[in-house]
Amino acid sequence: MKHEEQKTMTLAELKQLLTNHQEHHFRLRLPDSSDVPVSFHITEVGRVDKTFLDCGGTRREKTTCQLQVWVGKDYAHRIETQKMAGILKKGSELLTDETVPVEIEYEDKVISQYTIEGHEVSDDVVTLQLAHKHTECLAPELCGLEMPDLGLPAIDVKSSNCCGPSGCC
């Protein structure tokens, strides 16, 4: 089975989308095609720096912009594109690199994180299409798997294997 790298929206692309469609409503669509209730709030704009070892022992780093979405009991609440742009502007001191991917954290029975795989613009609404995040082996050559390079920067390439003689956990 061949996997394709999932393209996700960057912070710069999201800001440009909001700028290009001022005065629009702002909505989020989940992977199952249902919408996040329109009364959602953005409760956090975060910079998430992750440093980790892959299953082959290579140290890697990844940075994302994470937007936490919360639905309260104030059902009349609405976020418009200008308001969303203002929220992102407040977070700009944390997010100086606008090439980072944007992820949405949302709780619907469990807390889930989603990537933004696309968007739809109508006469008065900008809707972000969310996609499930997936796990993948980052050292497929050590595990005997055929998978594409995910483009994650390796920091300490000469690390020893952490997971035994085969190198795969």
pLDDT tens digits, 50-101: 999 998 899 999 999 999 999 989 989 999 999 999 999 999 999 999 999 9
Task: Tell me the pTM.
Answer: 0.81
Residue 87 DSSP label: H
For residue range 120-156, list pLDDT tens digits in order: 999 999 999 999 998 888 888 887 776 556 565 654 4
Residues 154, 53 contacting (CB under 8 angstroms): no
Looking at residue 161, its pLDDT comes to 47
Annotated domain spans of the chain: 11-135
Residues 59, 154 contacting (CB under 8 angstroms): yes
Phi, psi of 128 (to 5 degrees): -90, 130
Measure the CA–CA gap between 5 and 100, rounded to whole angstroms. Answer: 16
